[in-house]
Amino acid sequence: MEVFKRRTFLITVLLLLIFAGNTLASDGNGVDTGITAWMLTSTALVLLMIPGLAMFYGGLVRTKNVLGTMMHSFAAMGIMTVLWVIFGYGMCFGPNTLGGWFGWSNDLLFLRGIDTEVNNGVPDYVFSMFQGKFAIITPALIAGAFAERVSFKGYAIFIALWGILVYNPLCHWVWAEDGFLFNMGANGAIDFAGGTVVHISAGISGLVAAIYLGARRGYPKTSMPPSNLVLTMIGAGLLWVGWFGFNAGSSVNSGLDTAQALTATQAAAAAGAITWMIIESFHQGKATALGFASGILAGLVAVTPAAGVVQPSGALALGVIAASLCYIAILIKNKLGYDDSLDAFGVHGVGGITGAIMLSFFIRKSWMIEAASLTESGTWTIMQQLGVQVAAVLISIVYAAVLTLIIMIVVDKTIGFRSPAKNEMQGLDASYHGEHGYGMLNAS
């Protein structure tokens, strides 16, 4: 009976496929409307993560800094998008230039060359806008490391330079077809949706920036209570939702690999969240809302590079490992005393490194077989892939750290990055924006 059912099912599918040949949804320009629809959705979902991040970070800072902190995310939406359209996309996905440091093609300036381009059924415009969202969120993530103590002008110049000099080259190396990390080892360094490009680069840059700029005034003696954890929880929720676009969209497909990435994403986020909750309950006696949210992020960050290659059990494991290591990282931070204000390094850096390296142990068999078939000897082991992953992680760390330090020094010495003491005490909102996030609490 069971066999019969399955056979009927297979025949039906076959028949459907035969007849569907002519009717596969297409608009006549070679656009696969099914895939394109999901990519459009994903693009919007990733964009949604940025207001999500603004809320997550905004809720964690003191009342006097809430708007300034949210503006760090929103300003990135403006600045990075404009740069992306003018030449950022070309730097990331154009052909190798300057020995492969980044890509470049005059044709891609202002996205002129892709007006009618369609690749694998998806208009290049959609792919470009999808990728552009990653270029926005990455510098916005760094802002968590130096929250509450930078001038707005310095920040704006910093992210522009950082996007051009750190993000674009890294993105080119890892995701462009001629990027050197894309071609490392048998089947490339695995970075499905941005473990190295987004999270490790942002996390390490945040760490460098936090140490270079020094701690907030009064840290760690003065209490710096979160202005609004409700905002933070909404933000964390939006990040989780948006991450489906981030990871499942990174398949640039609407098929089996999309489903695999989506499932891994959900599993890792949930595992990370409950791991953090359990550890914290035993360690501190209470399960905080912020802890749960941090666990969600740790899981999501760790599965980001891995979503395309791990099965649900591997995703659960990555969530558990990442949440545990991030929890420890934050304890160590408090011991060391540097002020990574909102744990951009503690969660994104540590989670990203954990995911990019540990994923080697959970790769699904079919991927390894495919990788082996691409080598001359016909074999490819977990250890070999681990080597590739570690190399990719180290390259991202070193590159991001060195370039960030240079950019920090240049910006700080020329227009000033660290907020003057007076402005820091007044708060970013009043100093740099002339507004009050929570003014409505007063009669006026």
**Binding residues vs another protein (CB under 8 A):** 64, 217-218, 422, 425-427, 430-431, 434, 436, 439, 441-444
Distance CA 423, CA 48 (A): 31
CA separation for the pair 408, 394 (Å, rounded): 21
Q: Are the beta carbons of 198 and 137 closer than 8 angstroms?
A: yes
**Chain centroid to CA 306: how far?**
12
Amino acid code (one letter) for 286? K
Give residues with Cβ within 8 angstroms of 176, minimum separation 6: 92, 93, 94, 96, 103, 182
Q: Is the dihedral of CA 127, 128, 132, 134 positive or negative?
A: positive
CB 304 within 8 A of CB 352: yes
User: What DSSP state is assigned to residue 186?
Assistant: T
Query: Least Å distance between CB 444 and another protein?
Result: 5
Minimum separation from the CB atom of position 366 to another protein (A):
58
* Whether 156 contacts 79, CB under 8 Å: yes
- Interatomic CA distance for residues 241 and 173, integer angstroms: 28
Please report the DSSP string for 102-161 in residue order: EE--GGGGGGGGGTT-EETTEEHHHHHHHHHHHHHHHHHHHTTTTTTSB-HHHHHHHHHH
- On whether the CB atoms of residues 57 and 66 are closer than 8 A, the answer is no
Q: For every residue of 403-417, which 3-state class applies, written as one string? A: HHHHHHHHHHHHCCC
The smaller minimum CB distance to another protein, of residues 33 and 426, is found at 426
Which residue's CB is nearer to another protein, number 335 or number 422?
422
Q: Least Å distance between CB 74 and another protein?
A: 17
Question: Other C-beta atoms within 10 Å of 113: how many?
Answer: 16
Whichever of 254 and 431 has its CB closer to another protein, that residue is: 431
Nearer to another protein by Cβ, of 59 and 427: the residue is 427
**What tokens were used for 268?**
């890792």
Q: What sign does the dihedral 420-426-429-435 (CA atoms) show?
A: negative
Between residues 41 and 426, which has the closer beta carbon with respect to another protein? 426
Q: Which is nearer to another protein, 337 or 434 (CB)?
A: 434
Smallest distance from another protein to CB 227, Å: 13
What DSSP assignment string belongs to 307-336?
A: TTTB-HHHHHHHHHHHHHHHHHHHHHHHHH
**Smallest distance, Å, CB 441 to another protein?**
7
Shorter beta-carbon distance to another protein: residue 255 or 439: 439
Cα–Cα distance measured from residue 315 to residue 299, given in angstroms and rounded to the nearest whole number = 8
Least distance from another protein to the Cβ atom of residue 437, Å: 12
Cβ distance to another protein smaller for residue 370 or 435: 435
Structure tokens at 394: 């180290």
Q: Which amino acid is at 394?
A: L
Nearer to another protein, 256 or 441 (CB): 441
Instruction: Give the DSSP per-residue string, 271-283.
Output: HHHHHHHHHHHHH
Nearest approach, Cβ of residue 138 and another protein (Å): 32
Query: Closest separation between CB of residue 62 and another protein, Å?
Result: 9
In the bound complex, what is the minimum distance in angstroms from residue 222's beta carbon to another protein? 9
Taking the least distance from each CB to another protein, the nearer of 64 and 418 is: 64
Q: How far is the CB of 149 from another protein (least distance, A)?
A: 12
